[in-house]
Amino acid sequence: MEPNARWLPPSAVTPAPVATAGEPVETGLVAPPAGAPFGEPRRPLLKRIGGGLAVVGATIAKFLAQAKALIFLLPKLKLLTFAVSAAVSVAAYALLWGWSFAVGFVVLLFVHEMGHVIALRREGIKATAPLFIPFLGAVIKADLWSGDALREARVGLAGPILGTLGAALCVPLYLVTGSQVFLALAYVGFLLNLFNLLPVVPLDGGRAMAAMSPWMWFLGFGVLVALVLLVPSPVLLIIVLLAGFETYRRWKLRKSGSLQQAAYYRVAPRHRLAVACVYIGLIVLLALGMHEAHILSSGGHSFTSI
């Protein structure tokens, strides 16, 4: 030990002596030369770059693992969206008609929309799960423009076809249970699908008219406007606005003279006849269904109070 070095107990609080580079300090130690690194010697540059790249790689791998987990979660998120929208619609309809009717009504909407989904998948077109919108029904998202007007008509009519079957099944349920709720659901189900056959886009009847006679869109739009004047309703007004915009947009495109539009609306006469038969047949069946459900009701009362 140097003669001038002093021992201090561990508990002593004494500031460290300050020394210039290369000069002896009071502890007997020699300060390192100027520019010398303190602590452990630095690693070579390549090793430091490699370590940084390893950290970046680990971060990217973690991010990809989380993204992969999110991709697997997407179907569950879609299912959650479907379930939440259905629950919200049931709650909204229950405020007016009670829980039993509300649940049955949403089920009928689901059956109708699944007719579209099944038809879309048969056509090789991806479709989302139905999204329910209170008092406006339900919607699905799909790209119909990859085919032609005949494909659009088939997909459009598939909803009322399956929806008619769903409403018809409510009649035997009424006969077995005697519950007026099932009879009310049958009547409203027939009415709902009949309304959707109005020949105006974006309703199902308008999609059928794309393969039959697109000029019928204007007749269907006139019927919608008359309904709003006769039965003022915010829901009908929204449908009129949507129909007016869509009719104008599609008619303008159709009259643009493009080869793509001409090919889209080119339908063979036999196919046009087949679409017309299904369309008219559905209207007849739905009208008869409403008539029979009304006769079966006690005293012919309206179902809106159920």
Q: What is the mean pLDDT of each run of 10 residues along the chain (306 residues)?
A: 44 47 47 50 56 58 50 56 88 92 95 92 83 86 75 94 96 91 94 95 94 92 92 88 92 86 90 96 95 71 42
* Predicted pLDDT of residue 52: 56
Cα distance between residue 90 and residue 133, in whole Å:
10
* Predicted pLDDT of residue 79: 76
| Category of 28 on φ-ψ map: left (φ > 0), alpha (ψ -120 to 50) or beta | left
Burial of 283 (0-12, 13-18, 19+ CB in 10 A): middle
* Predicted pLDDT of residue 260: 85
Cα distance between residue 118 and residue 228, in whole Å:
32
User: How far apart, in Å, are the Cα atoms of 124 and each of 128, 129, 197, 266?
Assistant: 13, 15, 24, 20
Neighbouring C-beta atoms of residue 186, cutoff 10 Å = 29
Cβ atoms of 247 and 201 closer than 8 Å: yes
* Predicted pLDDT of residue 257: 79
| Joined tokens for residue 3 | 């003669």
- pTM of the full structure: 0.70
Burial of 47 (0-12, 13-18, 19+ CB in 10 A): exposed
